[in-house]
Amino acid sequence: MLLLSNKKLVGSLVAAIAVGIAVAGYAFTASNTVPNASLGQGANVISGYTVSGVSYNPNASNPGNVDSVSFTISPAAAGTVSIQLVSGGSWYSCINTSGSVSCATTSPQATASAANSLNVVAGS
């Protein structure tokens, strides 16, 4: 009888510990707080830019190096303009002054022999 009583006590103790762990785990998950957030989707028309008057400006002492590229962009309000001269290559930041764009291509140095395209990305 004493053996049966000890088994019941051990079984009750194990059950009590399991319930305690479950309640403690629930308490931790129940205490999470998540702040309010916004998420949305919208659509708008995307129009392109027109690039004209492209000029590749070689280095004075090594004409194989292209030191800058300049061109006109329309509409002139493009706030951010970047170019790429080698497909998959480096991107160069440009300065747009009322539609007259100038892009330094010296870091890294662009070369005429490697240039295979002019990719222009612009945004307002």
| pLDDT tens digit sequence for 65-101 | 999 999 999 999 999 999 999 999 999 999 999 999 9
Can you give the pLDDT at residue 70?
Answer: 98
In a domain, 86, yes or no: yes
For residues 77 and 124, the answer to whether their CB atoms sit within 8 Å is yes
In a domain, 58, yes or no: yes
Structure tokens at 94: 């440009």
What does the alpha-carbon distance between residue 14 and residue 44 come to, in Å, rounded to a whole number? 63
In a domain, 91, yes or no: yes
Q: How much is the pTM?
A: 0.65
In a domain, 13, yes or no: no
What residues contact residue 95 under an 8 Å CB cut-off, 6+ apart?
A: 81, 101, 102, 103
Can you give the pLDDT at residue 14?
Answer: 66
Report the run of H or E that residue 83 belongs to, with start and end: strand 80-84
Give the residue numbers spanning the domain of 91: 50-123
State how far Cα 24 lies from the chain centre.
40
Can you give the pLDDT at residue 87?
Answer: 95
Flag residues of the chain having pLDDT under 70. Answer: 1-16, 18-32
Number of domain units in the chain: 1
In a domain, 27, yes or no: no
